[in-house]
């Protein structure tokens, strides 16, 4: 991924804790000076997403596109693509963006869109990952950073982190433990991609 203007566009739906971890890593690890990379924009499908306010406070461009205002998924994805492409992204980063993307959208960003998933893929794609891991009696759980493909949670794995499943864990306590590791591995995976 060469060049000096590697714009990163981050998509969120909520608090944006992974987005904040990425933006902080970009600042403290001097991605712009070292790698020619910066977080150019944060976009959400929810105008009230707390992460948008945080990003604005950091001086990052933000936009909100309400998916319920569109007739169908394709129309929303087309508008979202237009908003993302205004920033000429080298990398599109899904950080708690709770929308299933259309094949056309995924194809448009093929090779430059990544996601973080709260399980050790290929185990437990989809939702309720922590509860499912507990119910299956897993001794470990974790998170995976992966390339986005048309098959949900099945792209090339770029980074993983493992955490123990402790006796008495609930989905909430396990999720909190996994999230601390997500904040470590997501910026690391992005920095590796930017350095390649």
Catalytic residue among 67, 108, 117, 146: 117
Q: Is 67 a catalytic residue?
A: no
Q: How many CA atoms lie within 13 A of 173 on its CB side?
A: 8
Q: How far is Cα 169 from Cα 191, in angstroms, rounded to an integer?
A: 32
Provide, for the chain, the percentages of residues in helix, strand and coil under a 3-state DSSP scheme, each rounded to the nearest 5: 40, 25, 35
Q: How many CA atoms lie within 13 A of 105 on its CB side?
A: 22
Q: Which helix (H) or strand (E) holds 113?
A: strand 113-117
Q: Which residues are catalytic?
A: 117
């Amino acid at each position: 991924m060469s060049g000096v203007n590697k714009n990163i566009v981050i998509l969120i739906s909520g608090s944006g804790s992974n987005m904040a971890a990425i933006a902080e890593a970009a600042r403290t690890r001097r991605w712009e000076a070292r790698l020619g990379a910066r977080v150019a924009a944060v976009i959400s499908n929810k105008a009230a997403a707390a992460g948008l306010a945080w990003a604005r406070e950091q001086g990052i461009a933000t936009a909100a596109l309400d998916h319920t205002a569109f007739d169908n998924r394709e129309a929303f994805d087309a508008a979202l693509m237009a908003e993302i492409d205004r920033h000429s992204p080298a990398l599109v980063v899904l950080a708690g963006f709770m929308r299933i993307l259309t094949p056309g959208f995924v194809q448009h960003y093929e090779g430059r869109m990544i996601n973080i998933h709260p399980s050790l893929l290929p185990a437990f794609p989809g939702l309720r990952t922590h509860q499912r891991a507990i119910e299956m009696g897993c001794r470990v759980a974790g998170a995976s950073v992966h390339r986005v493909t048309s098959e949900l949670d099945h792209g090339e794995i770029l980074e993983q982190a493992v955490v123990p499943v402790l006796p008495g864990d609930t989905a909430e306590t396990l999720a909190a433990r996994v999230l601390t590791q997500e904040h470590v591995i997501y910026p690391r995976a992005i920095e590796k991609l930017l350095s390649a």
